[in-house]
Structure 1
Amino acid sequence: MLHIVNGDHVAETLKKVVDKGDILVWREVYPDGPNFTNPAEPANREIRAQYLEQAMGIPTAEFTRNSEIQEKQLADFAQYDEVVLWFEHDLFDQTMLCYLLHWFAQHPLGDTKLSLLCIGSFPGIELFRGLGQLHAEQMATLSGTWQIVGSEQLALGSALWEAYVSSDPNKLSQLLNGDTSALPFAQAAFQLHLARFPSVHNGLGIVEQITLEHVQNDDYTPYILFQKVGDKLHELGMGDLQYWHVLSKLSQGTQPLLHIEGLESFPHFQGTPPSFHNCTISLTELGRQVLESKVDWIALYGIDTWLGGVHVLGQSVPWRWDTEANAIVNCRKDK
Structure 2
Amino acid sequence: MLHIVNGDSVAEKLKQGVVQGEILVWREVYPHGPVFQDPAEIDNRAMRSQHLEQTLGIPRSEFVQISRRQEQILSEFHKYEEVVLWFEHDLFDQTMLCYLLHFFSERPMLQTKLSLLSIGEYPGIELFRGLGQLSVKQMETLSGTWKSVSAEELELGKAFWQAYTADNPQMLGQLLSRDTSALPFAHDAYRAHLARFPSTHNGLGIVEQTTLEMLHAGLNSPYELFKHVGDRLHTLGMGDLEYWHLLKVMSQDPYPLIQFRGLDCEAVLTDFGKSVKDGKEDWIAKRGIDRWYGGVHLQGDTPRWRWDSFLQVIHDSGSEV
TM-score, normalised by the number of residues in structure 1: 0.94
TM superposition shift of 1:255:
1.6
* 1:147 corresponding residue in structure 2: 147
TM superposition shift of 1:332:
5.8
The secondary structure found in structure 2 opposite 1:311 is strand
| Structure 2: stretches of 5+ with no match in the other structure | none
Provide the rounded CA distance (Å) in 2 between the counterparts of 1:233 and 1:132: 17
Provide the rounded CA distance (Å) in 2 between the counterparts of 1:108 and 1:223: 46
* Native 8 Å contact 2:212 2:269 kept in 1: yes
Indicate whether 1:53 and 2:50 are aligned.
no
Provide the rounded CA distance (Å) in 1 between the counterparts of 2:7 and 2:79: 23
* 1:17 corresponding residue in structure 2: 17
Provide the rounded CA distance (Å) in 2 between the counterparts of 1:114 and 1:179: 23
Provide the rounded CA distance (Å) in 1 between the counterparts of 2:32 and 2:279: 26
* 1:102 corresponding residue in structure 2: 102
Provide the rounded CA distance (Å) in 2 between the counterparts of 1:317 and 1:184: 31
Post-superposition CA distance 1:73-126 (Å, at most 9, x none): 000100000000000000000000000000001111110000000000001111
* Native 8 Å contact 2:260 2:266 kept in 1: yes
Provide the rounded CA distance (Å) in 1 between the counterparts of 2:163 and 2:192: 15
Provide the rounded CA distance (Å) in 2 between the counterparts of 1:151 and 1:193: 25
TM superposition shift of 1:18:
3.3
* Native 8 Å contact 1:202 1:291 kept in 2: yes
* 2:279 corresponding residue in structure 1: 293
Indicate whether 1:326 and 2:312 are aligned.
yes
* Native 8 Å contact 2:18 2:139 kept in 1: no
TM superposition shift of 1:254:
2.5
Provide the rounded CA distance (Å) in 2 between the counterparts of 1:48 and 1:5: 22
* Native 8 Å contact 1:17 1:139 kept in 2: no
* 2:237 corresponding residue in structure 1: 237
Mapping for residues 72-151 of structure 1, pairs under 5 Å: 72-151=72-151
Provide the rounded CA distance (Å) in 1 between the counterparts of 2:299 and 2:10: 36
Post-superposition CA distance 1:251-273 (Å, at most 9, x none): 112321001113xxxxxxxxxxx
Structure 2 letter corresponding to 1:321: W
* 2:158 corresponding residue in structure 1: 158
* 1:192 corresponding residue in structure 2: 192
Distance 1:19 1:257, change over 3 A: closer
Identity of aligned residues (%): 59
| Structure 1: stretches of 5+ with no match in the other structure | 263-274
TM superposition shift of 1:238:
0.2
Aligned residues: 319
Provide the rounded CA distance (Å) in 2 between the counterparts of 1:174 and 1:195: 15
* 1:310 corresponding residue in structure 2: 296
The secondary structure found in structure 2 opposite 1:88 is coil
* Native 8 Å contact 2:18 2:136 kept in 1: no
Indicate whether 1:227 and 2:213 are aligned.
no
Compare 143-152 and 324-333 and name the one that shifted more.
Answer: 324-333
* Native 8 Å contact 1:84 1:114 kept in 2: yes
Post-superposition CA distance 1:290-332 (Å, at most 9, x none): 0111110000000110001000111000110001101111126
Structure 2 letter corresponding to 1:324: F
* Native 8 Å contact 2:5 2:25 kept in 1: yes
Structure 2 letter corresponding to 1:84: V
TM superposition shift of 1:19:
4.7
The secondary structure found in structure 2 opposite 1:181 is coil
Provide the rounded CA distance (Å) in 2 between the counterparts of 1:202 and 1:17: 51
* Native 8 Å contact 1:10 1:131 kept in 2: yes
Structure 2 letter corresponding to 1:319: W
Provide the rounded CA distance (Å) in 2 between the counterparts of 1:42 and 1:167: 19
